[in-house]
Structure formats: structure tokens, C-alpha cells
Amino acid sequence: MPKPRAWPGPPPDDVYEFSMDAEEAKPLHLHRKPLEKTSPLSKYIETEHQQAGLFSLSPFDPSLDIAVDPQKKRRKKCGACTPCLRKENCGSCANCLNRKTGKQICKLRKCEQLKKRLNEWASSPVIAGSPDTDGAQ
């Protein structure tokens, strides 16, 4: 693959320069096209469904859409248990040793209330038809 080179001489003959006065440049608008809220495909699907009488979509309201929020809802620490009051990481647990890729809090600083909620969620009955219950034993 040839390396790109800087042109030491004048520009090639097929390159032209255009000069423009300030008055000529005013009517020239160089800006991006505004982003659409919905894709053409979703507009097509909406019109097809409306024509078929299946349903009608209400206008898009980003304040009601959960997916618009870029950050996930974070679980809050209680702030009162011993792990919550601990200020520094231990530096020896698996989470501390794997800080660059793990992105998890030190095991000694993990809130006890969050651990209880996680255990309750993990022990709840599994929904029928989920990938975990489809005969994979």
C-alpha cells in the first residue's frame, strides 16, 4: 500500500480554488440535517398498522420512554451498615485485584442491604420458558 505524501509543490491541475466574498457566503448554509425521532421503517410500519386497523401509535414522547435515559437506575447503598461506612478498599479481594476490567465494588464494602435484595431476587422462582429452564441440565 503506498504511503500518503505531503505535496511539496503546487497543487495538481485538477484541484481548483474558489474564493467567496462575505456577502456570497451568507446565503450558503452548511449545517447538518436535523435528526428524525423515528426511522422511515417505523413510519411505514405505523401507517400499515393504522390502515389495517390493528392499532394507532401516539406521537413519540421522549419523557415517557425509559430507553431514552442513558444511565441505568443505580441501586442505593443504605449508608448505615459496616461495609457502607468503610472508606477504603481492602486491595486483596477478587474485585479489588480486578479493578480495571471488573468495575465492581470491594467485597468488604458491598452494602448488606444490597446483598439481601440480590439474594431475594436470585432465590425467586424462575419464569417458565426462560433459557435456564428449557431442558438445559
Is 108 domain-assigned? yes
Cβ proximity of 83 and 112 under 8 Å: yes
- CA 23 centroid distance within chain: 43
Helices (H), 33-104: 40-52, 82-85, 94-97, 99-102
Q: What is the pLDDT of residue 110?
A: 87
Nearest to 84 by CA among 105, 113, 111: 111
pLDDT-above-70 percentage for the chain: 47
Task: Find the domain containing 106 and state its range.
Answer: 77-122
What tens digit of pLDDT does each residue of 6-43 get? 666 776 677 666 676 767 666 665 666 665 566 777 77
Is 83 domain-assigned? yes
Is 113 domain-assigned? yes
Is 101 domain-assigned? yes
Number of structural domains found in the chain: 1
Cβ proximity of 46 and 40 under 8 Å: no
